[in-house]
Amino acid sequence: MSKTCLVTGAAGFIGSHLVDRLLLDGHSVTGIDDLSSGNLCRLPADFDLREIDIRDPDTKNVISEVNPDLIFHLAAQISVAVSAREPQFDADVNVGGALNILEAVRTIPGKNVKVLYVTSGGTVYGEPEKIPVDESITPRPLSPYGASKLAVETYLPIYERLCALSYSIIRLGNVYGPRQDPHGEAGVVAIFANAMLEGRSVNIFGDGKDERDYVFVADVVDAILKASRSEHSGPFNIGTGIGTNTNAIFEILAHHCNYKKLPIHVPPRPGDISRISLDYGKAKKELSWCPRTSLEQGLKTTVEWFGR
């Protein structure tokens, strides 16, 4: 059945892929994005995008006008490094912006809105002793970014009681794939692939032995859509359960890019964790979700997109 959907961060990497899938499935979709990191070229030419910051009071008017059945909240300050430098700014965007949206939901009378909150499993858990980590482990974030994303999770059951909304929490691994921003402090796959294809040097923070759980963007969108149709609130880990170190990512990408240079190792960044992978057993049981794209295939597809 067709739904009225609102996607925050719609012009972002994951958000734009989600918009495409929602439109393909026949839903009515409106986006919110301030375009600070999003890009209009990721969206259809006639897409209904409202260029506004999620902290702006006018966001409430947009939500009231759209009157959504589903809100997919992806807009955020996403850099661990920025959060370490500017923790107050990080909290202002990630916590304050989310509360602005939740307060807007309170103004919609007599309607049970479902909020899909997309957050980071790679940072909220910190350095868990058990790998892969499951949702029963108490999160202990090591960065202001992880703390701000976790804080919003604690508000959702409160708003469930305050205004009868429903919600699902999606904790993502390291998402990669086509459309990821290769500039600034973006994901390592996009940065490496773009640099390799242009013949530039590639920097690796630390010794490159840090492990992340890399999950392909199409699989992530599948998980978010399955959660939107589920009565389960989560949190749900969305990853592969496999940790891959940065050196291995470099080697696979170098092969697909025919890149011959050696990486340059630079000092590690503050707030980065050394290893994480996510047990997706709960998502498999309650959402019938499993990752379908192998790392090798996903990286190959990503390189082909950057090399167009």
pLDDT at residue number 110: 79
| Residue 287, in any domain of the structure | no
47-55: average pLDDT: 98
Q: What is the token pair recorded at 193?
A: 């692939």
Per the rule left: phi > 0, alpha: psi between -120 and 50, beta: everything else, 119 is beta
Kindly report the number of other CB atoms within 10 A of residue 251's CB atom: 13
154-171: average pLDDT: 95
pLDDT at residue number 64: 95
pLDDT at residue number 271: 64
Residues 187 and 123 in one domain: no
Residues 139 and 190 in one domain: no
Helix (H) or strand (E) holding 119: strand 114-120
Residues 105 and 46 in one domain: yes
| Residue 288, in any domain of the structure | no
Residues 120 and 182 in one domain: no
Q: What is the token pair recorded at 235?
A: 């949190």
pTM of structure: 0.95
Residues 82 and 28 in one domain: yes
Residues 84 and 144 in one domain: yes
Residues 233 and 108 in one domain: yes
Residues 74 and 196 in one domain: no
Residues 24 and 98 in one domain: yes
CA 137 to chain centre: 20
Please give the Cα distance from 304 to 298 (Å, whole number). 10
Number of domains in the chain: 2
Q: What is the pLDDT of residues 175-196, one digit of tens each?
A: 999 999 887 656 899 999 999 9
Q: What is the pLDDT of residues 226-239, one digit of tens each?
A: 999 999 999 999 99
* Residue 56: CATH number of its domain: 3.40.50.720
| Residue 282, in any domain of the structure | no
Cβ 299 vs Cβ 253: under 8 Å: yes
Domain containing 190: what range?
Answer: 178-211+242-277+293-306
Active-site position among 125, 145, 214, 280: 145
Active site annotation includes 145: yes
Q: What is the pLDDT of residues 82-110, one digit of tens each?
A: 998 999 999 999 999 999 999 999 988 87
